[in-house]
Chains A and B, each alone.
Chain A
Amino acid sequence: MVSEHEHDPFIEEIAGELRRPVRFDSTFESRVMASLDPSVVPLPVERKASTPWILRPRPFYVSPLAGLAVAAGLVAIITMSVMRTVPDTQLAANDPAPIVLPGNSTIIPVAAVPTVYAEPFTFIDSTARSVAVVGSFNGWDSTKNVLTRSADGVWSTTIMLAPGRYEYQLMVDGKLIADPTAQQTAESEFGAANSVLIVTPR
């Protein structure tokens, strides 16, 4: 798409001139080394001093019952902290407030979930044996969104996606290719460009 002027004689002439070596003063190195503050060490040298007191093992004695009580307390703390990360039906701070009805019964609204939209993916190739979509919506996992083939060789699937921008490719018979129907592409650090899908609310 972009010509590279690789073999342009005019550019080559300019570049040739610019390739002439440039030499700095022979005192350059000593000036750099003199600029290095000797008190500023890039990384503290690994200490080989004796083990600090806080790390030295010390024996202490407790009754078995006290030990069990402490252990049980620790397990309870750990369990509770794990449970807090698991979504449950209790309201989080940002959830809608409960609605109180006459008679003091309460409706607790379900926590808001993002609206998702059915996004179709199609690929036409009657000779392909397997087609999948891999991208940022499924961890680039080729087992997650596999297309199914119709009798006339049209592969298709629908993926529910929340509004946002997604990069993806099609894996056809084990090889990654761009989606021919994609409107946008994005350069990838890993070689060929990714296809881009932008899902907007509607």
Chain B
Amino acid sequence: MLNSRGLPLQNDSDAAAVARVLAGDTAAYTALVTKYKTQYARFAARMLGNREDAEEALQDAFVRAFRSLAKCDDPARFGSWLFRILANRCRTSGARRGRREKTFVRDEIALLDASEDHPEERAAWREEIQLALAQLDDDQREAFLLKHVEEMGYEEMSELTGVGVSALKMRVKRACERLRVLLQEANGV
């Protein structure tokens, strides 16, 4: 069942797939991978800023989820459980990268986006957006992406992240303020 236009939080077919995997049908896991790869690729890519790290983080999250599948309390909510693993993995990935300069080559930005057809100005603008996003704190970036990109409601975000609604609203607000400053500066506003 979808509770928002964003990430699903409860799904009976997920429960069925998880049950089959736990019964020994490892191949049934492919369906979950295919489904959530599509849904979470964007989030991972926006969080980490480059496709290579995003693929690595999502692959790692799937593997961890598989190994701990028996600990998933509610298989119908596999998606949100997997998301928590992914979000933690993205944070770890971010910390490991540390102060490594986050430079984005235009080709990288092009690879991130599926569309083949984008004018130069659009590509430059997207690069600036990704650079600005990278300058946010992990908490703020995550909250901003969940709210404005994945279009979740705050209650769902709270259930997904375990953080209170007020704190999430604060993070989104600060993220928006910071992005505005960074992107308006970049455009000489």
Question: A and B touching (C-beta < 8 Å)?
Answer: yes
Q: Mark A78-98, 1 if CB is under 8 A from B, else 0.
A: 000000000000000000000
Q: Shortest beta-carbon distance, A195 to chain B, in Å?
A: 15
B26 contacts partner chain A, Cβ-Cβ < 8 Å: yes
Report the Cα distance A25→B113, complex, angstroms: 12
* Complex interface: chain A residues within 8 A of B164 (CB): 187, 189
Contact of A29 (CB < 8 Å), options: B33, B112, B114, B133 = B33
Residue of A nearest to B169 (CB): A2
Contact of B148 (CB < 8 Å), options: A15, A20, A32, A40 = A15
Whether A22 and B29, one on each chain, are in contact in the complex, defined by CB atoms closer than 8 angstroms, is no
The secondary-structure label for the interface of chain B is helix
Q: Chain A: interface residue count, which band?
A: 35 or more
A61 contacts partner chain B, Cβ-Cβ < 8 Å: no
Report the Cα distance A28→B62, complex, angstroms: 11
A64 contacts partner chain B, Cβ-Cβ < 8 Å: no
A70 contacts partner chain B, Cβ-Cβ < 8 Å: no
A115 contacts partner chain B, Cβ-Cβ < 8 Å: no
Report the Cα distance A129→B58, complex, angstroms: 57
Whether B113 and A11, one on each chain, are in contact in the complex, defined by CB atoms closer than 8 angstroms, is no
Whether B29 and A11, one on each chain, are in contact in the complex, defined by CB atoms closer than 8 angstroms, is no
* Complex interface: chain A residues within 8 A of B63 (CB): 32, 35-36
The secondary-structure label for the interface of chain A is loop
Are A11 and B145 CB-contacts (below 8 A) given A4-B169, A5-B173?
no
Binding site for A on B (CB under 8 A): 21-24, 26-27, 29-30, 33-34, 37, 41-42, 45-46, 51, 54-55, 58-59, 62-63, 66-70, 112-115, 125-126, 129, 133, 145, 148-149, 158, 164-167, 169-170, 172-173, 176, 179-180, 183
Kindly list the 7 A-B residue pairs having the minimum CB-CB distance in the complex, ordered from nearest.
A42-B69, A15-B148, A43-B70, A2-B169, A187-B164, A22-B42, A5-B176
Binding site for B on A (CB under 8 A): 1-5, 8, 10-12, 14-15, 17-25, 28-29, 31-33, 35-36, 38, 40-43, 45, 187, 189
